[in-house]
C-alpha cells in the first residue's frame, strides 16, 4: 500500500491548518496582556531574589514595573538593588515608592529612615572613593 499526500484544495487546507497550529502558541503569547506578563516577570524576580541573584531580580522587577506601573514593585526594586550594591538606584526607587504610595502608608516612618540611612551610606562611599583616588594620585606623583 502506497502513502499518498493530499493534493489540490485538500492539500492547501492541510498546509494552512499545519501552519496555523505552528503559530498559535506564538500568537497567543503575543496577545497575552501586560498584566499577565508583568506577573510572570515578578514571579521570576522573586525566584531570583530568593536565590541571591539580585542583578537578575532587578532586571525582572524592572520589566514587571515597566508593564504594570504598580508602585509596590518599586519596593522590590529598592530591596534587590540595595542587596546588589546599587545604593544610588535603591535610594531612587525607595524615594519613588514613598512618593507614589499614600501618605497613610503604615511603615512610612521606617522607610523614610531607611532612605536617610541609604543616603548617608552613599555619601560615605563617595567620600571614601574620593579619598582613595587622591591617595592613589599622590602616590603616583611621588614615584
Q: Which residue has the higher pLDDT, 135 or 60?
A: 60
What are the cell numbers at 40?
510572570
Question: pLDDT confidence of 126, banded at 50, 70, 90?
Answer: confident
The predicted-structure confidence for 39-97, as pLDDT tens digits, reads as follows 999 999 999 999 999 999 999 999 999 999 999 999 999 999 999 999 999 999 999 99
Query: What's the rounded Cα separation, in Å, for the pair 22 and 29?
Result: 13
Averaged pLDDT score across all residues of the chain: 84
Q: Which residue has the higher pLDDT, 58 or 134?
A: 58
Spell out the residues 6+ positions from residue 58 whose beta carbon is closer than 8 angstroms to its own: 45, 77, 80, 81, 84, 86
Residue 98 has pLDDT above 70, yes or no: yes
Q: Which residue has the higher pLDDT, 39 or 30?
A: 39
Amino acid at each position: 500500500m502506497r502513502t499518498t499526500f493530499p493534493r489540490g484544495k485538500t492539500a492547501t487546507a492541510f498546509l494552512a491548518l499545519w501552519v496555523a497550529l505552528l503559530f498559535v502558541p506564538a500568537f497567543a503569547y503575543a496577545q497575552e496582556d501586560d498584566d499577565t506578563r508583568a506577573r510572570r516577570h515578578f514571579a521570576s524576580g522573586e525566584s531570583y531574589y530568593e536565590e541571591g541573584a539580585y542583578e537578575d531580580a532587578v532586571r525582572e522587577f524592572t520589566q514587571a514595573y515597566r508593564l504594570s506601573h504598580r508602585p509596590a514593585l518599586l519596593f522590590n526594586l529598592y530591596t534587590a538593588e540595595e542587596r546588589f550594591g546599587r545604593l544610588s538606584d535603591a535610594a531612587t526607587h525607595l524615594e519613588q515608592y514613598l512618593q507614589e504610595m499614600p501618605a497613610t502608608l503604615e511603615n512610612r516612618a521606617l522607610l523614610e529612615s531607611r532612605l536617610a540611612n541609604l543616603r548617608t551610606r552613599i555619601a560615605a562611599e563617595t567620600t571614601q572613593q574620593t579619598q582613595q583616588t587622591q591617595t592613589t594620585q599622590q602616590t603616583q606623583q611621588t614615584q
